[in-house]
A and B are shown apart, each in its own frame.
Chain A
């Protein structure tokens, strides 16, 4: 018959293993907040360097929102043929 101490020891070891096993994993229970975006964060477009993509003719300063908006506004005029011909 296994002694009680050995049982407790084995039990403790098991608990320890179980607890250790839990260390590297994600939260077991997801805390859900209704109405709030739950996904990955996203970067803002102007936080990229113009040279980061393969090819673009637009120029702005990385991190500067208004220069990026200005670049887009200027590019938007390509959809307006009146900008080139009356």
Chain B
């Protein structure tokens, strides 16, 4: 059974913001709402790495746990969606999310918070699939058309993978093998001892 996930390969991400703009274009996201962002660590120095971050569609989503009006639901593919009609804009999900996924549009006077908006894995929301209403509130529903999120499909270096967790893990695993080394960003150093050189090269004989 499919469980939808994102994986951003930090070795390939060049911070081009293609994913950010693909999402903006696909879902016509307003100015100020950033469903997806690229985060760069060590900007400008050796060891610079970037990762694209949006909603992680957690299995045990903190946003879902804390929402006082229970607007969240999880689809069978593991995509976390919400009903904007019920949202009261309290921002508790914003506190709870460890990834900064919930966004609030800048509509109305005095910067009123408005309805929460976030990455939907391009799966729309609780309106009729592919309808104008669904698009106006939640953006595109690519899953209902047999497509995958626009950000992952348009990534310039295919760093951002999105789809069935099983499939993208496979794709990433093959790359890691080709490189002959693991993903330093996610704890290689912690698991196997910190490298003394942050830009450690692969051992001799390895491919890269």
Contacts and interface: CB of A to CB of B under 8 A. Distances in A.
Interface of A: 34-45, 47-48, 50, 52-53, 55-60, 65, 68-69, 71-73, 75-82
A72 B146 contact: yes
Rank and list the top 5 A-B pairs by shortest CB-CB distance, nearest first: A39-B83, A58-B146, A53-B145, A40-B126, A76-B163
Given A52-B129, A60-B146, A79-B158, 9 more contacts: A37-B70, A39-B70, A39-B73, A45-B123, A48-B130, A73-B163, A79-B162, A79-B163, A80-B171
A36 B155 contact: no
Interface in B130-175: 130, 141, 143-148, 152-153, 155, 158, 161-164, 167-168, 171, 174-175
Describe A's contact surface by its main secondary structure. loop
B2 interface: yes
Interface of B: 1-2, 69-73, 75-77, 81-83, 85-86, 123-130, 141, 143-148, 152-153, 155, 158, 161-164, 167-168, 171, 174-175, 178
A55 B124 CA distance: 16
A78 B167 CA distance: 11
Given A73-B167, A79-B168, A79-B171, A37 B148 contact: no
Contact of A42 (B81, B130, B145, B174): B81
Nearest to B157: A81
Contacts of B145: 48, 50, 52-53, 55-56, 58
Contact of A38 (B1, B69, B153): B69
A26 to B, nearest CB: 13
A76 B141 CA distance: 16
Contacts of A44: 75-76
A73 B162 CA distance: 11
A60 B158 CA distance: 25
Contacts of A73: 2, 163-164, 167
Given A39-B82, A45-B129, A81-B158, A50 B146 contact: yes
A45 B144 contact: yes
A8 to B, nearest CB: 43
Report which residue of A40, A47, A58 has the largest number of chain B beta carbons within 10 angstroms of its beta carbon: A40
Contact of A69 (B2, B70, B72): B2
